[in-house]
Chain A
Amino acid sequence: MNSSEPKQQWLIRLQSFWQTFSKNRIGLVGLAMLALLILMAIFAPLIAPYTSSSSAEFQVGDIYNPPSASHWFGTDDAGQDIFSNFVFGARISLIVGFFAAFISIIIGGVLGLVAGFLGGRWENLLMRFTDTMLVIPDLPLMVVIIALTKPSLLNIIFVIGLLGWTTTARVVRSQTLAVKSRKFVLRARAVGAGNAHIISRHILPLVMPILVVQAVLVVSLAILNESALSFLGLGDPTVLSWGQMLNYAFGRGAMSIGAWWALFFPGFGIVWVVLGLTLLGQGLEQVLNPRLDTHHLMPGRPTVRKDRVEAQTKFTKETVLEVQNLSINYINEGKPPARAVENVSFTLNAGELIGLVGESGCGKTTLMLSLLRLLPSAGQIVDGRVFFNGEDLTTISDEELNKIRWKEISIVFQGAMNALNPVRTVGDQIAEAITRHMPDFPKDKIQARVIELLDLVGIAADHREHFPHQYSGGMRQRAMIAMALACNPQVIIADEPTTALDVMIQAQILELLDSLRKKLGLAIIFVTHDLGVVAEICDKVLVMYGGVTAEYAEVDTIYNEPRHPYTQELIKAFPDLTKPKKKLTSIPGYPPRLDNLPVGCRFAPRCPAVFARCHTEQPILHNLGNSHIASCHLVEASK
């Protein structure tokens, strides 16, 4: 029982691995290429039409015969069948590759594990040694060692193996370091587990995948090295590897005779196996260590609706931004779209501050990014419109949109550390916004303007020469605001500008934003999960839950007459609005996953007032008059 359990676990893990891997085309192709070659090597005696290395039937006329029916790959300088030698040569390459890699992986793996696990002086010592070995060029060293010893296959395997471990050691060490500080390892250690136990049970299983990927690469390098050594005449002369075949062909006149086949096929074999291994490695890497292969410059998905319409509501002077029934999906290959934002509407007037509230994962950031079409490439606006001064931002061209971005609507991102370019000075980045959008701005006045902006947010002028990492967290956030103000925009979107900052700084930033709004007449969308903050400065509040509007109303209405149970729960969690520090943690459970939304009301699983209908039917948005909107079946009942 005890022993079969981990076995089954292995099996399950392997199965799930295979499930993902079998969808990875690159990896599969690599595996197939490799498998074909391994089969060929194993069954070489059956496949090869002639026994390897027999010159018994040699005739002078046999040398360098072109490929024909009896010699598929032609013949070599000794009249031997290249195809047969090719088939047998696969054995040599694979043997050298796998055995040498085995040695490298063992050495590198052990060194990396030990260094990463023990840390301290040992780690320092071992890694210094590794670094030293890493800079010593290995082919010349191999050449020297093999030149001084006997060129036998065994020697070659050892030399390649003994010199090829450095990268493995580094990779394994960093993975060990990462794993070592994980909770379950610390827990195991706290319980008093010994080093050996921790390594074998907790660390090794997590280092293994990396080791496998590394092993595949090391095998391919070993094969390349063997072929190079053989070509340089340092191979084992008694075994005919592909490199050796090329050495003979190159040294014995294949080129001048035009016997391309003698030069082509052995090299082709090397490329085949190395490419197979590389593709396999690439595939394994993608499966075992998945990375989102996306970035911000990938073209976004086009808005589903292409028609441009004028705003139907009359745009008063005050209304700067009007969002109508906006819906956003995330599209993932082979999966149903994730409905991240559904049917959200709100209006923003000049000088107004609207709070966008909800827990993390409720679609706030998605909504905010979609306003300027900054969604990641998987995101798509599937319905609704965003009117800015009467223009539909969801359908205008990129060029037109680029003119509005920052010039009219700018964003203060959360976590300004990452939102500022680390290798450019802060002043430079602010100036960039000005030069981009105000080409007529006098060049000599730009610095003055930067200083002015920094001054506005309370940063001394000489700090503009500094890099973001030289700023404190609060300063960075303020610099970000200064940058957002650079082009005198009409709207600023502040995306949780105060998270990750301490209370004092939070308060400063809030105050700053509020004062700027009053001073400059800005309209601000303030995204936060902190209802307390909203109460202090907002005019309107949009409460989002699971991608849909839970409730939308004037701030007083929200606080005094919340109609949606979610809003009510949020407020309950903050009985005392003077303590904004308290976090939204008191509602049990988590927001729904976007790829697994409940059928009925999205809040139903956590709703204290839930009843049967909530689980089957999604509530519509109920207009409660006076711009108060809530989506709850209870509201309908009470209407």
Chain B
Amino acid sequence: MKHKVLYVLVLASLILAACGGAPANAPSVVHVGWAGSPDTLNPGLAILTEAYTIFELVYDSMYDLNLDGSFSLSLAESVERSEDGLVYTYKIKDGIKWHDGKPLTAEDIAFSYNLYKDTPEYPYLNGYYTPYFSSVEAVGNEVILTLTEAIPNIESQLVFLYILPKHIWENENKIEFENTAMIGSGPFKMAEYVQNEFVRLAANKEHFATPPKVAEVIFQTFENQDALVQAIKTGQMDMITEMPSTAVASLKTAENVEVVVGAPFAPGVSDIIFNQTEEENCPTPEEGGICTGHPALRDRNVRLAMSHATDKQKLIDVVLLGLGAPGLTLIPNGLGVWYNNSLKDYEFDVAKANQILDDAGYLDTDGDKIRELPDGSRPLTFRLNWPSDSITAPRMAELLSEMWGAIGISLEMQAVDPDALTSQCCPAFDFDIMLWGWASDPDPSALLYVYTSEAVPTGSSETGYSNPAYDDLYAKQQTELDFEARKAIVWEMQKIVHDDVVYIIPYYEQATQAYRTDRFTGWIVNQAKVELSDTSSLVFIEPIK
């Protein structure tokens, strides 16, 4: 009996499996698989990159961010900067239309910028990109943007400020508006959206600059990345935006699938954070300072020795299966010109590391294979914490424990809930070493800020590092309008923090994406950064006949 029932079930499954497979992919519908889903379609509130991916496709903004890291004007045909660098005048192109047919004007742009500027509830767009905005006005077909300070990076300040239709947004509650209809002006129109299931976009064939050649793009959410890999192998997906590193090797050999590896669109940094807060820099109790860091970590020698004892290539091999580049500072190689590629990393040399510690007086006096402070009061036993939702950190911790064990440093390892870790971290400085990471902005300023003394009490600094010389340079690059001069300063800053061994940056993670070669042609894969779900690829690809 039992067998019969099971047989029936199996039979039913075979019938269902047989009748159709995936509904035959229409020739010009691109199926993109990803492991996420936009958190919200309200650009002001969105945090996840998936949301920004959709915004990039559905909205336009003043500038486009190219895959080589450069910017190009998009909605405006020209821009003029005033002598003092405070006033920008954008001349908006004619004939641009919203998806609902209404014309896009300078009014809309000014409305959008003012919306971001005046809505403090928008955590990112307001906080990061509008602090220098003094006023925004629309005059005829021109947008006049006045700043409070001359800044060198107006492009990166505007690139994520998507232009929203005034006629829709002015009537909505800016915070509660879910924006599911998502009227934009970009190369794709929102067709259907089910959160956590899929986003279906239809081509905007009337786009002023880059009308897509395909009819539709469907982003489908897979909660596990493995299913994603399987889906592209079987042809259910035409492109996937991510995959577990373990799958790369097998996918490379799969038929009709091409794997692309490179710096991600928003380059990521993985960091080993040392709490080096000096007592005088400790945030006040009102600010939340606790500062329980191990004193040895305030000594550059110790950090330097640990740096020499860290085999970054091995970390990359084990944790990322080779899909990463060894790191130097918080400025990742994916930032292109801003990345100081002249720096030379501390070589992996355990003997040298031991020598440094011996010379600095950290000796193992009690014979337990763990060194003590020069005064013998405390062993070099550090707490090592990482966010418990990280799947790579435990592997990294385990390796570090082995590597640093070789130089007489022991670790107490503990995964901590991300929130608890945040409150332990900054500005409390209630830890010794942490494993965490950053995603970068196209402009280096945001990550450079993390090293400043000013950031210590605000919670942005993770290390408590404080160096007046660095602080001066930071202020300087903030207002240096000359590109080359600013670049030189940024490079110099990287050299300082590298010399001071503020962090150990084990690696910059690489993006791995894959597309099917038998469905669409024209994917952009030869650029510094890899982002197949970017407008650059999706408006360019066309079905293979």
A positions within 8 Å CB-CB of B: 53-56, 58-60, 63-64, 77-79, 147-152, 233, 236-238, 247-248, 250-258
B250 neighbours in A (Cβ, 8 Å)? 253, 256-258
Q: Quick check: is B423 within 8 A (CB to CB) of the other chain?
A: no
Q: Are A60 and B414 interface neighbours, CB within 8 A?
A: no
Contact indicator B402/A55 (Cβ below 8 Å): yes
Within 8 A of A (CB), among B221-239: 224-227, 229-230, 233
Contact of A255 among B230, B317, B399, B402 (CB under 8 A): B230
Q: Which residues of the partner chain B approach A254 to less than 8 Å between Cβ atoms?
A: 226, 246
Residue of A nearest to B419 (CB): A148
Please give the distance in Å from B205's CB to the nearest CB on chain A: 36
B322's nearest neighbour on chain A, judged by CB, is A60
Q: Does B417 contact A (CB under 8 A)?
A: yes
Q: CA A54 – CA B403 in complex, angstroms? A: 12
Q: How far is the CA of A152 from the CA of B388 in the complex (A)?
A: 10
Contacting A at CB under 8 A, from B368-394, are: 386, 388-389, 391, 393-394
Q: Which residues on B sit within 8 Å (CB–CB) of A53? A: 398
Say yes or no for B243: interface residue by CB 8 A criterion: yes
Residue B318 is within 8 A (CB to CB) of chain A in the complex? yes
Most buried by B among A64, A78, A147, A152: A78
**CB <8 Å contact, A151 and B318:** no
- Interface class of chain B by DSSP: helix
Say whether B321 faces chain A, with CB atoms less than 8 Å apart: yes
Q: Complex: how many Å from CA A236 to CA B414?
A: 9
CB distance from A267 to the nearest CB of B (A): 15
Q: In the complex the two chains form, is A150's CB within 8 Å of B321's CB?
A: no
B416 at the interface (CB under 8 A from A): yes
| B229 surroundings in chain A (CB, below 8 A) | 253, 255-256
Q: Which of B317-335 contact A (CB under 8 A)?
A: 317-318, 321-322
Residue in A closest to B226 when the chains form the complex, CB atoms = A255
16 contacts between A and B (CB under 8 A): A55-B398, A58-B317, A63-B246, A64-B246, A79-B318, A150-B420, A151-B415, A152-B414, A233-B389, A251-B226, A251-B391, A252-B244, A253-B244, A255-B230, A256-B230, A257-B247
| Chain B residue contacts of A77, Cβ below 8 A | 244, 246
A257 CA to B227 CA, complexed, in Å: 11
Contacts of B317 in A (CB 8 A): 58-60
Q: CB distance B413 to A238 under 8 Å?
A: yes
B519 vs chain A, min Cβ distance (A): 19
Partner of B226, one of A55, A63, A147, A250: A250
B314 part of interface (Cβ distance < 8 Å):
yes
Give Cα distance in the complex from A54 to B402, angstroms: 9
Please pick, from B314, B398, B399, B414, the residue contacting A150 in the complex, using a CB distance under 8 A: B414
In the bound complex, residues from chain B placing their C-beta under 8 Å from that of A56 are: 402
Since A53-B398, A152-B414, A255-B229 are in contact, a sample of 18 more A-B pairs with Cβ atoms closer than 8 Å, ordered by chain A residue number, is A54-B402, A55-B398, A58-B317, A60-B317, A60-B321, A63-B246, A150-B417, A150-B420, A151-B415, A238-B414, A251-B225, A252-B391, A253-B245, A255-B226, A255-B230, A256-B226, A256-B244, A256-B250
Which of B227, B244, B415 is close to A238, meaning CB atoms less than 8 Å apart? B415
Contacts of A152 in B (CB 8 A): 414
Q: A63 to chain B: which residues have CB within 8 Å?
A: 246, 249, 321
A237:B246 contact, CB within 8 angstroms? no
Across the interface, which residues of B come within 8 angstroms of A237, CB to CB?
386, 388, 393-394, 415
Is B251 on the interface with A (CB-CB < 8 A)? yes
How close is A263's CB to chain B, nearest CB, in angstroms? Answer: 10
Contact B244–A78 (Cβ < 8 Å)? no
Task: Chain A residues near B397: list those with CB within 8 A.
Answer: 238
**Is B318 within 8 A of A58, CB to CB?**
yes
Assuming the contacts A55-B402, A147-B417, A150-B420, asked whether A251 and B244 have C-beta atoms less than 8 A apart, the reply is: yes
- Cβ distance B236 to chain A, nearest Cβ, rounded Å: 13
Complex Cα distance, B322 from A236, in Å, reads: 26
Q: Which of A55, A147, A148 has the most CB of B within 10 A?
A: A55
- Whole-angstrom CA separation of A250 from B399 in the bound complex: 22
State whether A252 touches B318 (Cβ < 8 A).
Answer: no
> Which among B244, B415, B416 has the greatest number of chain A C-beta atoms within 10 A?
B244
Which of chain B's residues have a CB closer than 8 A to the CB of A257?
246-247, 249-250
Q: Shortest Cβ distance from B387 into chain A, in angstroms?
A: 10
Q: CA separation between A148 and B417, bound complex, in Å?
A: 8
Contact B388 A151 (CB under 8 A): yes
> Distance (Å) between the CB of B248 and the closest chain A CB?
8
With A251-B224, A255-B230, A257-B246: A236-B415 Cβ-Cβ less than 8 Å: yes
**Residues in B whose Cβ lies below 8 Å from that of A252:** 244-246, 391
A64 to B246, CA, bound (A): 8
A200 vs B233: C-alpha distance when bound (angstroms)? 66
Complex interface: chain B residues within 8 A of A58 (CB): 314, 317-318
Q: Decide yes or no whether B167 CB sits under 8 A from chain A.
A: no
Smallest CB separation, B58 vs chain A (Å): 31
Closest chain A CB from B498 CB (angstroms):
27
| CB pair A238 B226 closer than 8 Å | no
Min Cβ gap B510→A in Å is 14
Q: Distance in Å from the Cβ of B329 to the closest Cβ of chain A?
A: 26
**B102 is an interface residue with CB less than 8 A from chain A:** no
Q: Please indicate the chain A residues that have their CB under 8 angstroms from the CB of B413 in the complex.
A: 238
Q: Is there a chain A Cβ closer than 8 Å to B395's Cβ?
A: yes
Q: Which residue of A lies closest to B243 (CB)?
A: A253
> Which A residues are in CB contact (< 8 Å) with B318?
55, 58, 78-79
Find residues 16-59 in chain B having any chain A CB closer than 8 Å to their own CB.
none
Question: Among the interface residues B389, B398, B402, which one has the most CB atoms of the partner chain A within 10 A?
Answer: B398
> How far does the alpha carbon of A79 sit from the alpha carbon of B319 in the complex, in Å?
11
* Cβ of B505 to closest chain A Cβ, rounded Å: 20
- Indicate if the CB atoms of A250 and B224 lie closer than 8 Å: yes
* Chain A residues closer than 8 Å to B251, beta-carbon distance: 256
Within the assembled complex, what's the spacing in Å between the Cα atoms of A150 and B388? 8
The answer to whether A55 and B399 touch across the interface, beta carbons within 8 angstroms, is yes
Residues of the B chain whose Cβ atoms lie less than 8 Å from the Cβ of A256:
226, 229-230, 233, 243-244, 247, 250-251
A108 to chain B, nearest CB (A): 29
**B232 nearest in chain A by CB position:** A256
Tell me the smallest distance from the CB of B34 to a CB of chain A, in Å: 15
CB distance from B196 to the nearest CB of A (A): 17
Contacts of B398 in A (CB 8 A): 53, 55
Q: Which of B454-497 contact A (CB under 8 A)?
A: none
Given contacts A60-B317, A147-B417, A253-B243, contact A248 B391 (CB under 8 A): yes
Q: Which residues of A contact B314 (CB under 8 A)?
A: 58
Chain A, Cβ-Cβ closest to B244 = A253
Q: Which of A59, A147, A253 has the most CB of B within 10 A?
A: A253
Bound-state CA distance A56–B420 (Å) is 31
- Expressed in whole angstroms, the minimum distance between the Cβ of B327 and any Cβ of chain A is 19
A622–B203 alpha-carbon span in the complex (Å): 108
Closest Cβ of chain B to A235, distance in Å, is 9
Instruction: Please indicate the chain B residues that have their CB under 8 angstroms from the CB of A150 in the complex.
Output: 388, 414-417, 420
**A248: nearest chain-B partner, CB-CB:** B391
Residues of the A chain whose Cβ atoms lie less than 8 Å from the Cβ of B244: 77, 251-253, 256
A59 to B317, CA, bound (A): 7
Minimum CB–CB distance from A90 to chain B (whole Å) comes to 20
Please report the C-alpha to C-alpha distance between residue A253 and residue B395 in the assembled complex, in whole angstroms: 16
Taken together as a complex, chains A and B put the C-alpha atoms of A248 and B246 apart, in Å, by: 11
Give the CA-CA distance A150 to B424 in the complex, in Å: 13
**Residues in A whose Cβ lies below 8 Å from that of B402:** 54-56
Tell me the bound Cα distance from A55 to B403 in angstroms. 11
B389 and chain A: residue at smallest CB distance: A233
Looking at A60, A237, A250, A252, which has the most chain B CB atoms within 10 Å of its CB?
A: A237
Contacts of B391 in A (CB 8 A): 233, 247-248, 251-252
